Chains A and B, each alone.
Chain A
Amino acid sequence: MLLLALRNLTRRPLRNALTLSGLAVAVAVLACLSAFGQGYRSQLGSELDRMGMQVMLVPLGCPYDAAARVLKGKTLDNSLPASALTLAQHDPAVAVAAPLLMVALPRPSEGRTDMWVGLDRAALPLKPWWRMKSHVTPGSNWFPSDDSVILGAEAAVTEAREPGDKFYSPETGQTLRVAGVLERSGTSDDSLFFVPLATAQKMFHQPGRLTAIALRLRDPALISEATTRLQRIPGAQVVTLTEMMGTFLNLVGSVRTLLLAIAVLAVTISTLSVFNTLLAAVVERTGEFSIMRALGASRSQVFGLITIESLLLTGLGSACGMGLAAGLGYGFENIVKQWVPFAPSGSLLSLTSSVMLRCILISFGVGIGASLYPAWQASRLHPADAVKMD
């Protein structure tokens, strides 16, 4: 029966190829969407986990935009008052308060904008992934002097600098010495330029200014009471990472809903396409089905034959769709990344076996659903029609 079904599919190669292509695209969209959703949630969770902090103090304004900018190493237009750090450090629930200054330095001649981050030692516990690839003082992971700079892995490649090299910044007129180069972490740190906080404030003429303060609590259970207290710091607002993750997932959820609507549309169109192909095949082969019935095929065998043909078509379409998702998924990821508010570093496309299985099951569901009516039609054909055909 399988052979018969397979041979029947080769009968109208162009029509079946078009149906199969439509189905493959629908499955690919569905697979990419599911893979992206799963990958985004998991990457976002792991990226926020790796921050090693639970709370962030940012200047007044949109807290989530501010937090997202800080997390992605982007600059903010306003700043925190210097008193905010002292108040945060004295809060009984705060274990670590790491002040940060972030400045965007446009470099028109290079066609890019460099991001500089000023930080002090308090930031180290919050960056457990900080590993030096190389350092002027082996074993150290900090700035040996105030005129030192530590480069992210990508930044070092772009600047073609190694530890010990001089680094002149024409925009600030500052000459620094490269103290170390970070190992690639897959985070936004890879493209950043790190300097001591005081150096950054001096370099960029922003004495006492802070962009954000990252906070680690003594006990995560204290987050509620700590937040209430920290909210009272003038000129600052508190964002918890849990809230941020929820907000990002909600925002991404809207994008996902849009994409899901597209995927549902694609799947519906491909279901109708499979339905149309099968119905046309049944109409074309009315005589053959009557002959099969005359030769002893039962109604269920004819019904089964059409269903098998449909499942073969959708199975093949699903396999092509998976190939398409694997091949073009990263392009899709790049497009979708532009629409989401906080795209974690690394690949967000998680084409796991569960995603693939879900898509295959949906595709087989499409196959069975689309075949029901044509198969029923074929199975109702009368064997006596085989004689009438003559």
Chain B
Amino acid sequence: MPSPPKPSQTSPSLPVVEAVELTKIYHRGREEVRALNAATFRIERGEFVAVVGPSGAGKSTLLNLLGCMDAPTSGTLRITGQEVQGLSDQQRTRLRREQIGFVFQHFGLMPTLTVAENIALPTLFARRRLAQRVDELLEQVALSHRRNHRPHELSGGEMQRVAIARALVNNPQMLLADEPTGNLDTATGDTIISLFQQLHQAGLTVVVVTHNTPLASATQRQLTLRDGRVD
């Protein structure tokens, strides 16, 4: 079972995510697309939340905003107590690097790096050297024997475990996963779901965007998006 991550220092009473009237509008030519429409919700520390909804409901937009990869058009978004709107690209990058871990549907591993180097990649951007942390994570995701392998030598499940280990290496406050089982068969997907549950039980806040019913059912709470609104 994964050891509890060591989150960065923030007040334990603050929610990890606090969104008030969160709105994101895109412009497609003259057309205005309201991808997220006055969404208000909170995600408490240590929660395991699934963001669900039909295609086009605004899940990806929400993921981008929660991951500080985009700025809201209006409303307020606080990540670990810090207001995101108005932050510069550099400040959002720092927040993303220090507070958030990402897991992508297609794993997003660097093909030229080994498993261990892929896990260590975010520490390079954070200018830290955490060799011991990489070893711990390799052990936690049961991939110590694969540390010097390249991604193309791994199975889908192994690649996703590497991606999860990479997301945890900087000890984030929140793990954001975009369809983490979308590219995996059912058995492998179950392994990943189980890994998320273990991380949640260890105290980490986990937010998954998914269409996968077993994964959504495994979470504590579901945030359902419909036409850019949170039901």
Q: Write the nearest CB–CB distance from A389 to chain B, whole angstroms.
A: 6
Instruction: Indicate if the CB atoms of A384 and B64 lie closer than 8 Å.
Output: yes
A121 to B106, CA, bound (A): 91
Instruction: Indicate if the CB atoms of B125 and A298 lie closer than 8 Å.
Output: yes
Q: Residue-by-residue, is A369-390 near B (CB-CB < 8 Å gives 1, otherwise 0)?
A: 0000000000000111011111
Interface residue stretch chosen among B3-11, B110-118, B186-194: B110-118
Q: A288-B110, A301-B125, A387-B64 are in contact. Are A293 and B104 (CB under 8 A)?
A: no
Interface residue stretch chosen among A4-12, A88-96, A171-179, A212-220: A4-12
Instruction: Indicate if the CB atoms of A296 and B113 lie closer than 8 Å.
Output: no
Report if B56 contacts A (CB, 8 A).
no
Main secondary structure of the interface of A (DSSP, over half): helix
B102 partner residues in chain A, CB cutoff 8 A? 294-295, 386
A7 to B96, CA, bound (A): 26
Instruction: Indicate if the CB atoms of A390 and B106 lie closer than 8 Å.
Output: yes
Instruction: Indicate if the CB atoms of B70 and A384 lie closer than 8 Å.
Output: yes
Q: Residue-by-residue, is B75-111 near A (CB-CB < 8 Å gives 1, otherwise 0)?
A: 0000000000000011001101110001011101011
Partner among A288, A296, A390 whose Cβ is within 8 Å of the Cβ of B93: A296
A296 to B121, CA, bound (A): 9
Partner among B60, B67, B113, B126 whose Cβ is within 8 Å of the Cβ of A294: B67
Report if A3 contacts B (CB, 8 A).
yes
Report if B122 contacts A (CB, 8 A).
yes
Q: Which residue of A lies closest to B122 (CB)?
A: A295
A386 to B69, CA, bound (A): 10
A320 to B112, CA, bound (A): 24
Instruction: Indicate if the CB atoms of B60 and A387 lie closer than 8 Å.
Output: yes
Q: Which residue of A lies closest to B166 (CB)?
A: A295
Partner among B89, B104, B117, B170 whose Cβ is within 8 Å of the Cβ of A387: B104
A296 to B106, CA, bound (A): 18
Q: Which residue of A lies closest to B183 (CB)?
A: A390
Instruction: Indicate if the CB atoms of A382 and B90 lie closer than 8 Å.
Output: no
A4 to B182, CA, bound (A): 28
Instruction: Indicate if the CB atoms of A10 and B69 lie closer than 8 Å.
Output: no
Instruction: Indicate if the CB atoms of A291 and B104 lie closer than 8 Å.
Output: yes
Instruction: Indicate if the CB atoms of B105 and A390 lie closer than 8 Å.
Output: yes
Report if A328 contacts B (CB, 8 A).
no
Instruction: Indicate if the CB atoms of B178 and A7 lie closer than 8 Å.
Output: no
Interface-centre pick from A288, A382, A387, A389 (highest chain B CB count, 10 A): A387
Instruction: Indicate if the CB atoms of B69 and A382 lie closer than 8 Å.
Output: yes
Report if A1 contacts B (CB, 8 A).
yes
A8 partner residues in chain B, CB cutoff 8 A? 112
Report if B21 contacts A (CB, 8 A).
no
Q: Which residue of B lies closest to A10 (CB)?
A: B112
Report if A299 contacts B (CB, 8 A).
yes
Q: CB within 8 Å of B: which of A9-32?
A: 10-11
Q: Write the nearest CB–CB distance from A339 to chain B, whole angstroms.
A: 47
Q: A386-B102, A387-B63 are in contact. Are A296 and B96 (CB under 8 A)?
A: yes
B60 partner residues in chain A, CB cutoff 8 A? 387-388
B70 partner residues in chain A, CB cutoff 8 A? 382, 384
Q: A4-B113, A298-B90, A299-B89 are in contact. Are A292 and B125 (CB under 8 A)?
A: yes
Partner among A7, A287, A299 whose Cβ is within 8 Å of the Cβ of B113: A7
A387 to B105, CA, bound (A): 8
Q: Write the nearest CB–CB distance from A17 to chain B, whole angstroms.
A: 17
Ranked 10 nearest A-B pairs via Cβ: A296-B97, A7-B112, A390-B105, A291-B108, A383-B69, A384-B69, A296-B125, A297-B125, A384-B64, A295-B122
Known A-B contacts: A11-B112, A297-B93, A387-B104. Give 12 more (CB < 8 A): A4-B113, A288-B108, A293-B69, A294-B67, A296-B96, A296-B98, A296-B125, A298-B125, A299-B93, A384-B67, A387-B67, A387-B69
Q: Which residues of B contact A (CB under 8 A)?
A: 60, 63-64, 67, 69-70, 89-90, 93-94, 96-98, 102, 104-106, 108, 110-113, 117, 121-122, 124-126, 166, 170, 178-179, 182
